[in-house]
A and B are shown apart, each in its own frame.
Chain A
Amino acid sequence: MISVDLTSMIDVVFQLIIFFMFTSQFGELRRTEIDLPHQPGDEAEVRHEPAMIIDLTNDGTYLVESAQTSLIEIERLARAGVLGQDASDPFDVLIRPDRHASAVHLDRLLLRLSNTGVQRWKLATVNPGGGS
């Protein structure tokens, strides 16, 4: 019977596992795949998870936690978030829009959010080129 030397293969496999363990970003797995606007963004912006993430698809559908959500429901969620905020951790909203979607969908959403008292929001972008 031919004996196979498994030592080096196991070494390589373990190296791969360690690599993927370190590079995986489990926090963002729940985000829907969206063609975001291509801009470098604000590097000074602190990296912390926003209180509410709203995805906006090309056809004007709003998604919260990957589930289609009406503007009325978004307003209710945002109002609850604003009521529960404190000075050290203000309620902030991240909007992840499809770059081809019309501004009217963004405007409708932002008008609803402004009704609830949301004052700051962030637009998600990607920087395909890597430079600014």
Chain B
Amino acid sequence: MTRARALKSPRRSARLGALPLTSMIDVVFLLLIFFLVTANFAQDEHKLPATLQTEGGGVRSSDLQPQIVQIRLQGNEPIFVIGEVAVRDRQSLEALLKNLPKEPGIAIKSDPDVPISAIAAALQAARNAGFQKRSYVPSDGT
């Protein structure tokens, strides 16, 4: 008799049946939908820090003058110019910058119509090449 009662377990099923599960499941599903909707699936953002330097300012006369990377457009493609040398992509710029002395730092300037992705590429190349002092010089349009 005891065995038969255990197999049926009427007390257990009665207890479970008495639990008000409907409202709990409602709440749980609402929570699930909230987290599904608000979850941020966007890619993690990174940062490229730089100092801000204006034309003709920010560097004392006693400081070493930083080397300058000028970003220009050739056709529709940005090119990176250092002195007489021009390169087309970040990897080439990085290889070029690795050969330069790091103490003076590097300054990046760009023409007005250059896409910002090229500025990011130049800052990234300078960072990867080991430059601690990286500055960007905004053009005043003159």
Complex alpha-carbon distance, A21 and B38, angstroms:
10
User: Which A residue's beta carbon lies closest to that of B128?
Assistant: A132
How large, as a class, is the contact surface on chain B?
35 or more
User: A72 within 8 Å of B by Cβ?
Assistant: no
User: A102 within 8 Å of B by Cβ?
Assistant: yes
Q: Contact between A102 and B47 (Cβ–Cβ < 8 Å)?
A: no
Inter-chain residue pair count (beta carbon < 8 A): 162
Main DSSP-derived SS at the B contact region: mixed
Q: Contact between A120 and B51 (Cβ–Cβ < 8 Å)?
A: yes
User: Which A residue's beta carbon lies closest to that of B90?
Assistant: A39
User: Which B residue's beta carbon lies closest to that of A96?
Assistant: B45
A26 neighbours in B (Cβ, 8 Å): 38, 40
Q: Contact between B115 and A103 (Cβ–Cβ < 8 Å)?
A: yes
Residue of B45, B111, B128 near A124 (CB, 8 A) is B45
Q: Contact between A103 and B43 (Cβ–Cβ < 8 Å)?
A: no
- The smallest C-beta distance from A32 to any residue of chain B, in angstroms, reads 11
- The smallest C-beta distance from A112 to any residue of chain B, in angstroms, reads 9
Q: Contact between A29 and B47 (Cβ–Cβ < 8 Å)?
A: no
Q: Contact between A42 and B127 (Cβ–Cβ < 8 Å)?
A: yes
Q: How many residues of A contact B (CB 8 A)?
A: 56
B residues contacting A by CB (< 8 A) are 13, 21, 25, 28-29, 31-32, 35-36, 38-40, 42-52, 54, 71, 90, 110-121, 123-124, 127-128, 136, 138-141
A96 neighbours in B (Cβ, 8 Å): 45
Residue of B45, B46, B138 near A107 (CB, 8 A) is B138
Q: Contact between A6 and B25 (Cβ–Cβ < 8 Å)?
A: yes
User: Which A residue's beta carbon lies closest to that of B28?
Assistant: A13
Residue of B32, B49, B111 near A120 (CB, 8 A) is B49
A110 neighbours in B (Cβ, 8 Å): 52, 136, 138
